[in-house]
Amino acid sequence: MQTPKITTLVAVLLALTVPAVGQAVYVLRLPGTNVTEGFYLPSAEYTAGSSAATNPRVPVLGLPHFFGGAAAPTVFPGQGGHAIDQQTGRMISSDGFQIWEEPHPRYPVPFTANPPIPAPVLTPPSTGAVNPIMGLGADPSRGAVWMVDYYGFQPFASAYPHGALGGLVIPTFAHSQFTGIAYEPSTGTLWLCDIQGCVYNCDILGNPIGAQPVACVPATLKGIAVNTTNGPGSVPAPACSAQVGGFHIIVTDGVALYDALSGANRALTPGVTGAYGLAYSSDVQYSFGGSPWVGSGMVPRTRINGPAINTGTRWLRLEGAMPSTTAFFLYDLCPLATPVPCGLGALRVFGGFITLPTDTAGVANLALPLAGVPAGAQFSFQWAFADSAQPCGVVFTDAATLTIGLP
């Protein structure tokens, strides 16, 4: 009986005519912190973005597999890289001389803990020392992760142990030492950045796409990523959103994120250096709204089972709710400009709603078919259920904003 309601929700996404930005990029910190630090890109909820330094709901992800092992990476800032395969939920990282992987902690994906492996040597040593890996870029269309050193790049399998899928490519255009690589699925091309702060766009054979460099920023760059929600063929943000545009090609110097094509920047953690590598993932962005329900003291949670990419189906999940009751899935193109307080929580989203039963464990699931939904489609949602013991009679989860991206 839920199909018509789900179809209506998907139709809202498909009908959007008003490019969008979201969701999250991640940088690796030095080993002492053992984390990847998140940054929400601008959206209808976070109009200028939000960092882990100022927002407790922006993810800071541990690296449990690698850093829980006997070895630890030897990191030299500006060396190594970070990539997220959104199809598999696998995070792949390097310190320049080793490659390791973890599951994305936000998603329940099958994962086998494998030991780190030596990084491949792409080009011959130039000064008597091995040229380290300087960047990683996920390419789910090929099941690949692109690796780059100072001078060239090469595709390797994203699956362990990351065997070569093709030969070394030395680009035909002039550049300084490369420090990052990223794959753009909407064009099937690669983006690279270098130590001089410039970015380049080429095909997978190294041929330039137009004049190079495409742009430069005043920084020594350490990573690059492509925001897959707002490339060619995407739909713009909803008219109700006041979000900042741009941030399609994103680079970092370890302290700030830059919109490589405009030069605009956003701070990461102020005063903290040492971030290296940069990866993009179409993750849901959370904002405050949740409160405990009186009968249990539990704070209900909203979850999604993978990045919001336009392949297959994603499940939007309510957990920790009152068992065997009616849950309300509230949705709209944008969150309310002014949240409505309700006890310790707040109503943040209200345009339409779908009713679903919770099971005996207090769980409800809504299937969201995303195949064919255009990149950039954006909406916000929140779960609620009645509780007569609450001061306002309703319990809410945190709200979430979702922007569809390409894999």
Q: What confidence tens digit (pLDDT) does each residue in 253-265 have?
A: 888 889 999 988 8
CA angle 51, 52, 55 (to 5 degrees): 80
Contact yes or no for 309/407 (Cβ under 8 A): yes
Per-residue confidence band for 130, with pLDDT thresholds at 50, 70 and 90: confident
Give residue 289's identity as a one-letter amino acid code: G
Instruction: Show the tokens assigned to 384.
Output: 């609620």
DSSP-based three-state secondary structure for 64: helix
- Kindly report, as residue ranges, where domains of CATH 2.120.10 are found in the chain: 24-281
Q: What confidence tens digit (pLDDT) does each residue in 276-301 have?
A: 889 999 999 999 999 888 877 788 99
Cα dihedral 154, 156, 158, 159 in deg (nearest 10): -170
Q: What is the CATH number of domain 285-403?
A: 2.60.40.10
Q: Verify cis geometry, omega within 30 degrees of 0, for the bond prior to 161.
A: yes
- Stated as kind and residue range, the H or E segment containing 249 is strand 249-252
Instruction: Output the pLDDT for position 105.
Output: 80
φ, ψ of residue 258 in degrees (nearest 5): -120, 140
Once rounded to an integer, what is the mean pLDDT over residues 143-163? 96
Per-residue confidence band for 19, with pLDDT thresholds at 50, 70 and 90: very low
Alpha-carbon gap, residue 182 to 140, rounded angstroms: 12
Percent of the chain with pLDDT over 70: 87
Once rounded to an integer, what is the mean pLDDT over residues 212-224? 94
Alpha-carbon gap, residue 276 to 211, rounded angstroms: 27
Instruction: Show the tokens assigned to 96.
Output: 């320049």
pLDDT above 50 (res 21): no
Beta bridge partners of 364: 318
Place of tokens 């709710």: 321
CATH topology of domain 24-281: Neuraminidase (2.120.10)
Per-residue confidence band for 38, with pLDDT thresholds at 50, 70 and 90: confident
Burial label for 95, CB within 10 Å (0-12, 13-18, 19+), is buried
pLDDT above 60 (res 367): yes
Alpha-carbon gap, residue 192 to 137, rounded angstroms: 10
pLDDT above 50 (res 6): no
Give the pairing type, strands 285-287 and 399-403. antiparallel
